Structure formats: C-alpha cells, structure tokens
Amino acid sequence: MPSLISSDATLAAACERWSAGGVIGVDTEFVRERTYHPRPGLIQVADGAGVEMVDPLEIADFEPLARLLADPSVVKLMHACGEDLEVFELLTGVTPRRIFDTQLAGAFAGYGFSLGYSGLVEVLLDVVVEKGETRSDWLRRPLSPSQLHYAALDVLYLAPVYARLSQELAALGRATWFAEELGHRQRMRAADRQLDAAYLRVRRREALPPAHHAVLRALSQWRETEAMARDIPRRHLLTDEVLIALASSSTLDAASLTGVRGLPPRVGAHYGPVLLDQIATARAQGPADADTPVNLRPHASTMKRLKEIVRQEADARKLPPELLANRRGLEALLVGVLRDDGDVPEEFRGWRFDVVTNSLLECIHAANRA
C-alpha cells in the first residue's frame, strides 16, 4: 500500500525527492457538493520510485509543495487537470507550471476529445483500471485501504501514458500544437475566473434583450462574489432560473420581489434590498456593447457550413472536431466578422489558423458577399 504523508517534515523531504526526478504524476481527491471551493481530501504523487499520498488535513505548511508545483524544471503529469489546479491553488496559492495534460494530449493524438483516464490507459497500455471509489467521502478519516488503492491507480500509469503520447505527438508533428493549446487554455482559465465571466455561465440568457442582459450581468457578478464569500455553491444562493426571472422583470419592488418564482423566501428577505439595488443600478447604467447580442438566425446556413468545414478538417487529420472548434467558438468568430472589428478570437489563432481558421473566414466572407 502507498505510504501516507501526514507531517510537514515528511512532506518537505518528499518534495525534495520528487523534484530530483524531473517528472511526477499528480492527482487530487476532494469533496465539493455543498461548498463553492473544493475541500481537498487527498493528494497523490507518482515518481520513478512509486506512489505516495499526502493527507492535506494533517499538513500545516504547504510551501515545499508550492515550490515543487511552481518549478518549471519539473513536468507535472495530470489528466483533465482543471479541478485539480483549483485544489492546488487553494492549498498552496500557486498554479502548477509545466503541466502535461494527458487527456488533452490524447485528443491531439487522435484518441477522442474527452477520453477518461481509465479509458486512455486501457487504449494505450491495455490495462484495465479499477474504478471502485469514485463516489467516496475523501474527508472521512481514516481513509480505507480500498480508497488508498483506488487513489494510487489514478497516478500509477501517468508516466507510461506520458511517454507514449509524447512519442506519438512528436511523430505526428503536433507537439507544438499541444503546447500552444495548453497555454491558450491556461489564459482562458484565468479569464473565466474573472467576475465578468460569471454572466457567461448563466444558462438560457441568449434570448434576453440588451437591457435585461445588463441586469443579468450585474446579478450574476453579485451572486459569484457572495457565493465565494460564503463558500456555498452558486445554485444554493440563487439558481440561474431565478437570475433570469429577476433580470426579465420590468418592475420590481420589495413587495413584488416575494412573488418571483423560485426565489427562496429567506434569500429574498435577507438580500432583497441588495438585489433591488443591483437591478436599479444596472438599469440606470444601461447595457454595454457586449450586452447587445448579434442575431445569428439569418446566418443559420453559414453556421451549418462552418460546422461542416470543422468536421472535414478534423476528419482529414483524425482529430476530434471539438478540438478544432465548438459551436460557441464558431459563433464568436462569426460575430466578430459581422461586427467588422477585425479581431479573430484567440482560440482561432496559433496552430488552428492554418488548420481551420483560414477556411472558416473564407466561408464567412463568401457568405457575406453573396
């Protein structure tokens, strides 16, 4: 059974060993059902000597781990790293550098857009990974032998998967594409954590008129700030449906606020004045340019052709179409051309430009000339 690190001194010594090897596989286990931030339950690390576990509930000094994660000379192997990065940032205050995301690398190597860790291990190494503790309570102590066994498997095969995918990306000439995409996703992740991006996570916002978009933007930013401060899930404060209802109401006051469907009475009673103030301020300021969406219905045929271009280019290179562009990205590209701002979204620059962006732009310009 892998050893469990539960003291500051043992962690510091382990970080020195892991740093010397130059490559480590890392993963985390956490619980997040009732909190805004993840609650770390376990950290798994694999190097050439085997797998070790860190119990974050017993560690007071994470500085050695922070230095290791920030060290650009050490490659950190991770699979679908988004939530793990958040855990590490919460514990150490740093974002890991020089990441090799095996899920993303697998996509560039032609194994599908979002293949899970066990699926990738089975395809590449012909090894079946047990998945017996996926719904486990990682904050419970003591951790059971089956929990530790399962957690160890999540990093055990990262090194051989890394070796295989590195070879395949080099043979395909896509190592540079992969590195560019990692950088792009890190920048997009930073942008997505800004308050302005909270509004973009609200479902079914597209049909709102500009003035209502402005109110929704203000309310979603308030919800994000308050949920973060209270460390509760956004939906436990206000659901997306309630945000839409508040933003869509033409007249609201303290009395009518209680009639908003889905608004919990205790939330309305406690936050009513704040919500009304947010709504009034947003209405007074009026919508920004970003709150006036472009009507894409007349361009449905163009969108259909853009999707077909993406599919053809992806098939020609045996890549998943989602890696080249999704619907949201295609809409952003089309809106940029229609607004004639000359700004190609970042995701369509770099490696994608010659692969698919040129063809997409030619299609859009041809449709506009027709």
How confident is the model over 35-75, as pLDDT tens digits?
999 999 999 999 999 999 999 999 999 999 999 999 999 99
DSSP, collapsed to helix, strand or coil, labels residue 326 as: coil
- The answer on 286 and 311 residing in a single domain is no
Whether cis (ω within 30° of 0) applies to the bond prior to 293 is no
Q: What is the pLDDT of residue 133?
A: 66
- The answer on 137 and 32 residing in a single domain is yes
User: Confidence class of residue 27 from pLDDT cuts 50, 70 and 90?
Assistant: very high
Indicate left, alpha or beta for 22 from its phi (over 0: left) and psi (-120 to 50: alpha).
Answer: left
- The answer on 350 and 257 residing in a single domain is no
CB 31 within 8 A of CB 138: yes
Domain total of the chain: 3
CB 344 within 8 A of CB 357: yes
Which of 192, 222, 238 is the endpoint of a domain? Answer: 192
For residue 9, is pLDDT > 90?
yes
- The answer on 65 and 112 residing in a single domain is yes
Q: What is the pLDDT of residue 341?
A: 64
- The answer on 51 and 180 residing in a single domain is yes
- The answer on 255 and 330 residing in a single domain is no
Q: What is the pLDDT of residue 18?
A: 97
Q: What is the pLDDT of residue 1?
A: 65
Which of 291, 322, 338 is the endpoint of a domain? Answer: 291
Task: Summarize pLDDT for 158-172 with one digit per residue, the tens.
Answer: 999 999 999 999 999
Determine phi and psi for 75, rounding to 5 degrees: -80, 130
Q: What percentage of the chain reaches a pLDDT higher than 70?
A: 98
Which of 139, 170, 192 is the endpoint of a domain? Answer: 192
- The answer on 207 and 58 residing in a single domain is no
Quick one: DSSP state of residue 76? E
- The answer on 287 and 301 residing in a single domain is no
The CATH number linked to 27 is: 3.30.420.10
DSSP, collapsed to helix, strand or coil, labels residue 46 as: strand
Q: Mean pLDDT of all residues in the chain?
A: 93
For residue 26, is pLDDT > 80?
yes
Which of 357, 354, 255 shows the shortest CA–CA distance to 306?
357
- The answer on 174 and 247 residing in a single domain is no
Around 20, how many Cα atoms within 13 Å sit in the side-chain half-sphere? Answer: 8
- The answer on 151 and 111 residing in a single domain is yes
**Residue 65 Cα distances to 77, 149, 153, angstroms:** 15, 22, 21
The CATH number linked to 262 is: 1.10.150.80
Kind and range of the H or E element at 99? Answer: strand 99-101
First and final C-alpha spacing in the chain:
67
Task: Summarize pLDDT for 84-141 with one digit per residue, the tens.
Answer: 999 999 999 999 999 999 999 999 999 999 999 999 999 999 999 987 666 789 999 9
Kind and range of the H or E element at 277? Answer: helix 265-285
User: Confidence class of residue 226 from pLDDT cuts 50, 70 and 90?
Assistant: very high
Task: Summarize pLDDT for 280-320 with one digit per residue, the tens.
Answer: 999 888 887 777 777 888 899 999 999 999 999 999 999 99
Tokens coding 97: 């550098």
pTM of the model: 0.92
Domain that holds residue 304: 297-369
For residue 208, is pLDDT > 70?
yes
**Which is more confidently placed, 199 or 313?**
313
Angle at 272 between CA 217 and CA 233, to 5 degrees: 60
Buried b (16+ CB within 10 A) or exposed e, 140-173: eeebeeebbebbbbbbbbbbebbebbbebbeebe
Q: What is the pLDDT of residue 342?
A: 65
CB 111 within 8 A of CB 123: yes
DSSP 216-252: HHHHHHHHHHHHHHHT--HHHH--HHHHHHHHH-S--
The rounded distance, in Å, linking the Cα atoms of 109 and 165 is 7
- The set of residues, in sequence order, having a beta carbon less than 8 Å from that of 27 and lying 6+ positions away, is 43, 44, 78, 79, 84, 151, 154, 155, 158
Q: What is the pLDDT of residue 228?
A: 96
User: Confidence class of residue 331 from pLDDT cuts 50, 70 and 90?
Assistant: very high
Q: What is the pLDDT of residue 258?
A: 78
- The answer on 73 and 15 residing in a single domain is yes
- The answer on 113 and 14 residing in a single domain is yes
Q: What is the mean pLDDT of residues 240-268?
A: 86
